[in-house]
Amino acid sequence: MITGEKDIAKAAQVIASWGPSEVVITHAEGLLVYADGEVFEAPFVIRSLDVRTGRGDTCIPAYPVGRLKSSPEDSCKFAAAVTSLKLEKEGPFDGTYQDILDKLAKDY
């Protein structure tokens, strides 16, 4: 909305031109990361969409946690996996790191 672009990849590029080295955008189906001139995307893979709240609140902090040890591409998948697990139940994410690793191995 703030860029005037309807295409989120183009919007991420515009935002990156304003200064940030990495841009993370969540949307209904997943997330998009723009970093190092590349676009990475990962879908939310969930059993049910009973809970629609908390997507951004979960995804945005999960991405930098992934970046502590991983590439932008792998961190994009990490954030999508955490968010997917969160969207399957009400409330904040309360899973374990092993739950995330299992989700990554299974769906990403």
pLDDT of residue 47: 81
Q: Residue 89: what pLDDT?
A: 85
Q: Which fold has domain 8-107?
A: UDP-N-acetylmuramoyl-L-alanine:D-glutamate ligase (3.40.1190)
Q: What percent of the chain is predicted at pLDDT more than 70?
A: 96
Q: Whole-model pTM?
A: 0.91
State the Cα–Cα distance between residues 50 and 23, nearest whole angstrom.
Answer: 28
* Under-70 pLDDT residues of the chain: 49-52
